Structure 1
Amino acid sequence: MLSPSLEDYLEEIYRFSLSLDTVRVTDISNRLKVALPSVTKALYKLRDQNYINYERYGEIRLTDKGNEYGQYLVTRNQLLQEFLDLICSKCNFAAEAEAMEHYLSAATIDAIRNLVEFMKNNPSFQHAFMDFLDDMD
């Protein structure tokens, strides 16, 4: 299991890999606003756990395991942002999802996924919820 910090690194590597042929340490450093040595240290940890292939000054490439888990991390983040929108939260969805994602169990993520899917498939319930919120104001 990865720490929240290592999950953030892997998630960003995965996001970069979707649009770039080569992911660089500086890309990650700039995106996460962390020092280059911190990125390098995290990359070695991810490499040691077989999430990436990486050698100092070399390219960063996801392994199959890293690609699969990176996709899960991005999907989890998107799900939480969708959930926050669904419940009409008045927050920065990206920041709030980031704060939530590392501390929710897989069971809770699955329950949120079920609720989001239920609401998508039953828009009348979503409308009723929004009417309820309007009445609360």
Structure 2
Amino acid sequence: MLSPSLEDYLEETYRFSQLPGPVRVTDISKKLKVSLPSVTKALGRLREKKYINYEPYGEITLTEQGTRLGSFLVERNQLLQEFLMLICANCDTAAEAEAMEHYLSGETIKAIQKLVKFLKNYPEPYNEYLEYIQQLTDEHLLEL
């Protein structure tokens, strides 16, 4: 199991691996807004755990295990963003999904996935939900 931080590094490595050209430490550094030494250290840990092949100043490639987990991490993030949009969360969905993704259990992720599929396949209940939330006033909602 990876820490949330290492999951972020692997997720971004996977995203960059889907683009033409090599995966570079500088790209990961810019995307995650961390220093180059931080990326290098994280890549070393991912290499030790057999998720990537990497030598300093060399090419970064994903192992089969890294590709599988990286794909899952990207799909999980996309699912949570879709869920937040479906429930009409008035937030930065990318940032909110990022905050949620590391702390939800696999069973909760599966339950969210089932709900998203249901709402997409059965538009009538979803449209009723949308009408209902439009009728709610702030007095019915939690004060934050």
Would you call these one fold, judging by a TM-score over 0.5? yes
Tell me the alpha carbon deviations over residues 71-128 of structure 1, each in whole angstroms, 9 at most, x when there is no partner: 0000000000000001000000000000000000000000000000000010001100
Match of 2:142 in 1: none
Q: Structure 2 matches for 1:1-137, cutoff 5 A?
A: 1-137=1-137
- Paired with 2:97 and 2:47, the residues of 1 have a C-alpha distance of 26
Report the alpha carbon displacement of residue 133 of structure 1 after superposing the two structures with TM.
0.3
Unmatched 5+ stretches in structure 1: none
- Paired with 2:20 and 2:38, the residues of 1 have a C-alpha distance of 22
- Paired with 1:46 and 1:83, the residues of 2 have a C-alpha distance of 29
User: After TM superposition, what 4+ stretches of structure 1 lie above 2 angstroms from structure 2?
Assistant: none
Q: Give the residue type in structure 1 aligned to 2:71.
A: Q
Q: Pairwise CA RMSD of aligned residues?
A: 0.6
TM-score by length of 1: 0.99
Q: Give the residue type in structure 2 aligned to 1:50.
A: K
Tell me the alpha carbon deviations over residues 8-61 of structure 1, each in whole angstroms, 9 at most, x when there is no partner: 000000000111320011110011110000000000000000000000110000
- Paired with 2:101 and 2:20, the residues of 1 have a C-alpha distance of 25
Match of 2:141 in 1: none
- Paired with 1:65 and 1:21, the residues of 2 have a C-alpha distance of 21
- Paired with 2:28 and 2:82, the residues of 1 have a C-alpha distance of 25
- For the pair shown, the structure with the greater C-alpha radius of gyration is 2
Q: Give the residue type in structure 1 aligned to 2:125.
A: F
Q: Give the residue type in structure 2 aligned to 1:77.
A: N
TM-score by length of 2: 0.94
Q: Give the residue type in structure 2 aligned to 1:26.
A: T
